[in-house]
Amino acid sequence: MAFYSSAVGSWTPAAVADGAICTANNQHCLHCVASTTARITELFIGGEATASSVNAMALRRMTTNSTTPTVRTATPTNILSIAAASVQPYITASTLPTTAALATIQHVLSLSHNAFGGIVRLSLYQTGAEIYLTGAAANNSDIGMVNVTGTGQVSSHMVWEEL
């Protein structure tokens, strides 16, 4: 199967409470469309803040499907791979639609780090360790790196396999 990457450079997360609506440019997400399935195999967050700042980020699921996010182009990690057909990486351009709030208890991972040069790299290539998402199912088709507390600037990427 082919692997794809979504990288977002120099973005400033904002703290978003469980059940709240994400606002302008404060998350890095993947969205599965139709009846496809994907598995996330790697996450990376690199701190770019100019002073010490703790970001308590989490990989969080959304309670409903996103309807109009600004889609970014998925990058094949192998140049011979075909373009990703059904998984859309995105970061919101203005405000995520009001129908897509964060789930209240769906913190899949907690990824705290010092945004002043700290990094988090999580490799999930071991069979059974991957994080799955599937399309057309609320709480299962959208997942993203969203801050719980802190506002230090970061860059991030996610690698996934479209199944």
pLDDT score of 93 = 39
Kindly report the average pLDDT of the chain as a whole number. 80
State which residues of the chain have pLDDT below 70.
1, 23-25, 64-70, 83-106, 136-138
Structural domain tally of the chain?
Answer: 1
What are 52-67's pLDDT values in tens digits? 999 999 888 877 666 6
Where residue 140 falls (left for φ over 0; alpha for ψ -120 to 50; beta otherwise) is: alpha
Whole-model pTM: value is: 0.84
Where residue 79 falls (left for φ over 0; alpha for ψ -120 to 50; beta otherwise) is: alpha
What does the H/E/C string look like for the chain?
Answer: CCEEEEEEEEECCCECCCCCECCCCCEEEEEECCCCEEEEEEEEEEECCCCCCEEEEEEEEECCCCCCCCECCCEECCCCCCCCCCEEEECCCCCCCCCCEEEEEEEEEEEEEECCCCEEEEECCCCCCCEEEECCCCCCCEEEEEEEECCCCEEEEEEEEEC
pLDDT score of 138 = 67
Domain of 17, in residue numbers: 3-162
